[in-house]
Amino acid sequence: MSPDITMTDAIAALVTEKRATGYKYHAEERVLIRFLAFCASEFPGQQAPTRASVEAWIAAARRRGVTPATLHSLAAPVRELARWLGRRGVGAYVLPAGALPRPARYVPHIYTDEELAALFAQTDRCHYDSQVPFRHLVMPVLFRTIYACGLRASEARLLRFGDVDLDAGVLTIRVGKGGKDRQVPVSAPLHDRLADYHARVAGRTGGDWFFPGTARRPLTIGNIDKNFRRFLWQARISHGGRGHGPRVHDLRHTMAVNNLRSWFADGEDVAALLPVLQAYMGHASISDTDYYLRLTAESYPHITAHIRRAYGVVVPPVTAGACHGN
């Protein structure tokens, strides 16, 4: 490739390459477009990341007071762009590993049974709003589906009516993390709720989204988070502020932990069942699922002895190791 490739072309080619290998790369693309505009303003004519432009980009973010996690998300795509250019013979500055402070790792909040009951009770009290006429029907089912099926919020919000097979009692999750589809059987209680919900909303929303937002679009992540925070407050579940949670995603973590807790209590062969949990949750690697063994041991210490007998000492602890189980 010619060394005089423009940064616009390089970004487009990088994004295309990433998506061809299964990455969505939407947030990263937005960062790169912002970096392109920043360079056009501050470093006119520059067609590759330089040390000066990358350090100025990071300094500008720091002046805005962004969190360490956000700083990493702003730097990582630019580093990847520089590497992509370098592989094609274009000189570009690659920000060294360890140049940025490591973000404080989030420790998932595992909801107690009482907290789950209080949270779902508040979703049931969600009232009708003429501006979002299906909200009071959507919220009780949406959050129960996220928990009971261990879904990511993005997976739940993008369900279409055709993805919910009420005859078989199976959800089809399309293009989940890693670009893969999977099928998720639902429990009998959730099946009943889904069937009742379907009967009340199907054909009335003006679109095909199972959990509709506005203007025939699916719910946004922002809308889900906003409602969730309100339900937490109503359920008197304290929130630690930005970056601390509890989060919607912790419902997924809690589902996994509660399944393991139940299997250990029932004397099941957990080693044999871990691959089942892996497939159900859409994990690419069994190591992502193994993470929940540590999380279960820390959330329910009385189970630790069972885990050690089956697996030995599970290390590192959740508060020290990398966070998998995504």
Whether the per-residue pLDDT at 308 is higher than 80: the answer is no
Q: What is the mean pLDDT of residues 130-159?
A: 93
143 and 219 both lie in a single domain = yes
- pLDDT range class, residue 294, cuts 50, 70, 90: confident
pLDDT digits (tens, 9 = 90+) for 93-127: 999 988 998 877 778 889 999 999 999 999 999 99
Give Cα separations from 33 to 3, 29, 38, 39 (angstroms): 20, 6, 9, 10
Query: Among the three residues 214, 234, 254, which one is the final residue of a domain in this structure?
Result: 234
Phi-psi category of residue 50: left, alpha or beta, with phi > 0 → left and psi -120 to 50 → alpha: beta
Residue bearing the bigger pLDDT, 40 or 316: 40
Mean pLDDT score of the chain: 87
Supply the range of the domain harboring residue 27: 7-86
Domain boundary among 205, 234, 263: 234
How many other CB atoms are there within 10 angstroms of residue 9's CB atom? Answer: 12
Share of the chain above pLDDT 70, in %: 90
Same structural domain for residues 56 and 119? Answer: no
In a domain, 58, yes or no: yes
Q: Is the pLDDT of residue 303 over 70?
A: no
Residue 293 lies in a domain: no
Q: pLDDT tens, 157-197?
A: 999 999 999 999 999 998 766 667 899 999 999 999 999 99
User: Residue 215: pLDDT band by 50, 70, 90 thresholds?
Assistant: confident
What pLDDT is recorded for position 302?
66
CB 183 within 8 A of CB 172: yes
78, 51 in Cβ contact below 8 A? no
State residue 318's pLDDT score.
42
Would you say residue 109 lies in a domain? Answer: no
Position 308 in a domain = no
Q: For the ranges 75-89, 194-208, 271-285, 290-304, which has the lowest average pLDDT?
A: 290-304
User: How many angstroms separate the CA atoms of 93 and 247, rounded?
Assistant: 36
Q: Please state which of the ranges 180-184, 227-231, 232-236, 247-251 shows the lowest mean pLDDT.
A: 180-184
- Rounded-to-integer distance, Cα 38 and Cα 273, Å: 50
> What total number of domains does the chain contain?
2
Rounded mean pLDDT of 263-284?
87
Same domain flag for 79 and 141: no
Domain membership flag for residue 148: yes
The SS3 call for residue 185 is: strand
Does residue 266 sit within a domain? no
* Chosen domain end from 68, 86, 104: 86
What local confidence, expressed as pLDDT, does residue 162 receive?
Answer: 95
Report the candidate in 243, 263, 247, 252 with the shortest Cα–Cα distance to residue 325: 252
84: left (phi over 0), alpha (psi -120 to 50) or beta: alpha
H or E stretch covering 164: strand 164-165
Average of pLDDT values for 270-297? 84
In a 3-state reduction of DSSP, which class is residue 97? Answer: coil
Helix or strand (DSSP H, E) at 184: strand 182-185
User: pTM score, two decimals?
Assistant: 0.73
Within-domain flag for 53 = yes
7 has a pLDDT exceeding 70: yes
